[in-house]
Amino acid sequence: MSPTLVIVGVALYTVVMFAIGFWGFRKSRPSMEDFFLGGRTLGLFVVLCAVWSTLFSAYSYIGLPGAYYRTGISFFGIAGNILLNALCMYLLGSRMWALGKRHGYINMTDLFAERYGSNLVCAIAMIISIGSLLPYIGLQVKGAGLTLQGVTRDVISFNIGLLYITIVVLFYVMLGGFRSVVWTDVIQAIIMLIGMVGAMFIIADKVGGGLGGVIQKAAVLDPKLVSFPGPAGIWTPSMVLTTCMVVGLGGFAWPQISQRMYATKSMRTVKMLAFIFPLAALFVNLPPIFIGLAGKLQYPDLKNADLVFPMMLNDLLPPAFGIIIVLAILAAIMSTVSGQILSLTSIIVRDLYVRFFNPEAATQARITKLSRFALLLVVAGALAFVFWGPTTLVGLLIEASGPIMLQVLIVLIGALYWRRATKEGAIVSMIASEAFLVMLWLKMVKMPIGGIHNGVWAMILGVVLFFVVSLITKPVDEKTLDKFFSTFRKN
Over its length of 491 residues, how does the chain's per-residue pLDDT go in tens digits?
A: 688 888 899 999 999 999 998 888 888 777 788 888 988 999 999 999 999 888 877 777 778 898 899 999 998 888 889 999 999 999 999 999 999 999 989 999 989 999 999 999 999 999 999 888 887 888 788 888 878 887 787 888 888 989 999 999 999 999 889 899 999 999 988 988 898 899 999 999 999 999 999 999 999 999 999 988 888 888 888 888 998 999 899 989 988 888 899 999 999 999 999 999 999 988 888 999 999 999 999 999 888 887 888 888 888 888 888 888 888 888 888 988 999 999 999 988 888 888 878 777 666 667 778 888 889 988 888 887 776 544 444 445 445 778 899 999 999 999 999 999 999 999 999 999 999 998 988 888 888 787 888 999 999 999 999 999 999 999 999 998 998 888 887 66
- Domain residue ranges of the chain, discontinuous segments joined by +: 3-392
Superfamily of chain region 3-392: Sodium/glucose cotransporter (1.20.1730.10)
Three-class SS state of 41:
coil
CB-neighbour burial class of residue 51 (10 A; exposed 0-12, middle 13-18, buried 19+): buried
Rounded to two decimals, what is the model's pTM?
Answer: 0.90
**Contact predicate 357/374, CB 8 Å:** no
Residues in Cβ contact with 270 at an 8 Å cutoff, skipping those fewer than 6 apart: 89, 90, 93, 94, 97, 261, 264
CB-neighbour burial class of residue 200 (10 A; exposed 0-12, middle 13-18, buried 19+): buried
